[in-house]
Amino acid sequence: MFGGNALSPLLASGILKLGGTHGRPGWQWIFLLEGIFTIAVGLLIGFLLPGSPERPRPLFFEGLVRISESDGALLQQRIAADLPNKSYEPQHIHITPAKVWKTLSHWRRWPHLVSRVLSLGFDRTSANALACIGPVIALGIVLLFARLSDYTNRRGLMVIIAISCYITTLIVARATQPHVGKWGRWGLWTAVNAFAVGYHPAQNTWLQLNCHDPAERSISIALWVMSAISGLMYGTQYFQEKDLPLYSRGLEIMIGVSVGGLVLVGVQV
């Protein structure tokens, strides 16, 4: 996911150069090529990858990764050894409405669910290319916090530290933007984007460790992803045209929301 975030602006800067080819604007080429790629990846997964340890065959053919019945049994034993109850539960589970409600009503789940560059003065192609720098740095930051989370086994603490780093970049950006030039503002927003997702792996692991069984885990992760996507949807409303060019009000809202998330995480630790 984070690799895609890093590569997508760079790919977009190249695809936009196709604008005008066969009478199609650049944005239509982006939608067309991304749609073809998404369909291709879905077909590859169905054709090549195994379903689960108890159903090792893929949807079609033999698959690229082949798991025999004996290997599947050994894999189930290995998974069971890592579970608290030492008992393997099938991955193809039936999720009842009662289980969904139980997960939704568990209050400890919810605290987990909680074209800037173009406006700096760069042209559209350059803006897309420059926008990929932040996500590339984010890959390293994500791996760092994930490694620290595994090493210390302090998931909540790592989430707090990662969010605190993000809040720091937001505050610095809000305070210094009026006093720097175009490249300085790009550097500030690159830092903001780099630290924006640093807490994700530790938070995801923390959420899963708080689940009691695979069904609850599946529902919780679905809620987590849905909430993240919802955040992307309403988060775009933080930056409005009347707040140009520095988006000072938008940054203040982001700081407030992030501090609120930090408080909710603190309740869990």
Please tell me the pTM assigned to this model: 0.62
Q: What are the residue ranges spanned by the domains of the chain?
A: 96-269
Q: Are 11 and 26 in contact (CB under 8 A)?
A: no
Of 167, 166, 174, 157, the closest CA to residue 138 belongs to: 166
Chain position carrying tokens 């977009």 = 12
Options 3.40.630.10, 3.40.640.10, 3.40.50.12500, 1.20.1250.20; CATH for 96-269 is 1.20.1250.20
pLDDT of 166: 94
pLDDT of 224: 79
pLDDT of 203: 86
pLDDT of 148: 92
Q: At what angle do helices 155-176 and 248-268 cross, to 10 degrees?
A: 160
Distances in whole angstroms, Cα of residue 236 to Cα of each of 10, 112, 123, 229: 21, 21, 21, 11
Provide the residue-wise pLDDT of the chain in tens; the chain has 269 residues.
Answer: 556 666 676 677 778 788 888 888 887 888 888 889 889 888 887 777 776 666 666 666 666 666 777 777 787 777 777 666 666 666 556 667 776 666 666 655 544 433 555 555 666 666 666 777 888 888 899 999 999 998 998 888 999 999 999 999 999 999 998 898 888 888 998 899 889 888 888 888 888 888 777 777 778 888 877 777 777 667 767 777 788 778 888 889 889 989 998 998 888 87
- Residue spans of alpha helices (H) in 49-154: 69-82, 97-104, 124-131, 133-152
DSSP symbol at 213: S
